[in-house]
């Protein structure tokens, strides 16, 4: 978050007047990396008409194998799906069994248990799939599993609307472990459960002090998530309430005002000392910066991109929502699983779909060389928990 005064002026001209708050960015000399990414943010990429910045489109092309035209079409379709989902859910009534976005058709699919609800759902433009178990039944089964104590070999569990089951993820090397097998048996007794093998156990993505464009608390480096009025949100495992926070240049930013981990993995930092907040997700000089215009939740199957201080921009798809992740420090609930990679130091960083904030990076497995999966804590949950207002353009 480094900018010279001249760069602030040029960026401000590209933004809607009044989009900048009076707390947040570091004053002082700018780095070459910041200058690169500021120059990459051309006014044409930050207009109200643009569905996404050039950088976001570039990252989607790179990570999802899309042409620019298909990336733009997908973003437009995902925006429609976000609007349709709530209406279709109400139309389905008690027979609602979940929904997901299908990249192959660019349409939202809604699962129902009663065929009589199909026409009402289709009226909103969604496809319909008839299934056996309602969302309420699946959520209840997951909640019962949440009440169990999971061994380390169980990496998490979530409701999969496409499978119409609760999926329990088990680390492949621990499938035969007696404690894991006992947990799976107890999980299966709660309702419709299927077991899936995963290559690695999830871990958080905090890191010791290294270079980059981070914020620091003690000797831990993490990444800023999203600006809120008065500060920014990030991951809870990055620091406890009251802990002092410094910026990329080691100048004081402020303090953690609230933090929760495990159980949750979210926190917020109040900023001052000459810093201010902006409604922008950084592109790190390799892609354009992206304006944040809201926080509408993307459905399963939608594209999502992540920005972090170690591995910078990467994109993938939403794989699951409301997942319980079993870290070695304890379980974290209501997480969103994605196919986006991440690495140590990316913790707390931004997940964004189009121009809609999604959540802050929590942890995952793998890396951005060999691939992997990453979870984020939904941003709306953080805003509601602390009574914060997202800073939007």
**Which DSSP helix (H) or strand (E) runs through 257?**
strand 252-260
Our answer to whether residue 265 is catalytic in this structure is yes
Per DSSP, the residues of 236-250 read GGG--TT-EEE-TTS
138's enclosing H/E stretch is helix 135-146
Q: Which are the contacts of 271, defined by CB distance < 8 A and separation ≥ 6?
A: 23, 24, 230, 231, 232, 253, 254, 277
Catalytic residue among 45, 118, 227, 237: 237
**Residue located via tokens 């500060």:** 231
**CA–CA gap between residue 41 and residue 43 (Å, rounded):** 7
Those residues whose C-beta lies under 8 Å from the C-beta of residue 259, and which sit 6 or more positions away, are 236, 238, 239, 240, 241, 243, 266, 267, 268
Catalytic one among 265, 289, 346, 355? Answer: 265
Note if 227 is an active site residue: no
Active-site position among 347, 350, 353, 362: 347
Q: Is 237 a catalytic residue?
A: yes
Q: What is the largest CA-CA distance in the chain?
A: 64
The token duo for 318 is: 């939403």
Rounded-to-integer distance, Cα 84 and Cα 98, Å: 13
Q: DSSP class of residue 388?
A: -
Q: What residues act catalytically?
A: 237, 265, 347
């Amino acid at each position: 978050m480094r900018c010279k005064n001249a760069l602030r002026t040029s960026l401000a001209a590209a933004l809607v007047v009044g989009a900048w708050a009076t707390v947040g960015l570091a004053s002082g000399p700018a780095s070459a990396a910041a200058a690169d990414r500021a120059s990459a943010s051309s006014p044409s990429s930050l207009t109200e008409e643009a569905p996404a910045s050039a950088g976001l489109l570039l990252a989607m092309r790179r990570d999802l194998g899309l042409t620019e035209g298909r990336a733009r079409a997908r973003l437009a379709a995902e925006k429609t799906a976000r609007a349709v989902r709530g209406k279709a859910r109400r139309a389905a009534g008690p027979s609602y069994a979940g929904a997901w976005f299908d990249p192959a058709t660019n349409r939202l699919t809604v699962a129902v248990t009663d065929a009589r609800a199909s026409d009402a759902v289709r009226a909103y433009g969604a496809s319909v799939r008839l299934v056996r178990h309602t969302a309420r039944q699946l959520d209840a089964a997951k909640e019962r599993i949440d009440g169990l104590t999971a061994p380390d070999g169980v990496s998490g569990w979530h409701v999969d609307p496409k499978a119409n089951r609760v999926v329990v993820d088990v680390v492949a090397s621990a499938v035969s472990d007696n404690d894991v097998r006992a947990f799976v048996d107890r999980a299966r007794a709660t309702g419709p459960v299927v077991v899936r093998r995963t290559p690695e156990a999830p871990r958080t993505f905090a890191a010791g002090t290294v270079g980059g464009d981070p914020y620091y608390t003690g000797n831990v480096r993490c990444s800023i998530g999203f600006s809120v009025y008065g500060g920014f949100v990030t991951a809870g495992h990055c620091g406890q309430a009251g802990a002092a926070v410094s910026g990329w240049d080691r100048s004081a930013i402020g303090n953690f005002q609230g933090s929760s981990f495990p159980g949750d993995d979210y926190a917020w930092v109040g900023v001052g000392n000459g810093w201010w907040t902006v409604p922008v997700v950084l592109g790190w000089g390799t892609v354009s910066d992206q304006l944040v215009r809201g926080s509408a939740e993307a459905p399963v199957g939608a594209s999502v991109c992540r920005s972090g201080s170690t591995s910078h921009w990467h994109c993938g798809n939403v794989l699951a929502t409301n997942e319980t992740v079993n870290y070695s420090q304890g379980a974290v609930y209501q997480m969103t699983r994605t196919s986006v990679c991440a690495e140590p130091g990316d913790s707390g960083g931004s997940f964004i779909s189009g121009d809609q904030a999604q959540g802050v990076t929590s942890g995952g497995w793998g890396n951005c060389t060999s691939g992997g999966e990453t979870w984020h804590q939904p941003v709306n949950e953080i805003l509601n928990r602390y009574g914060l207002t997202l800073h939007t353009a």
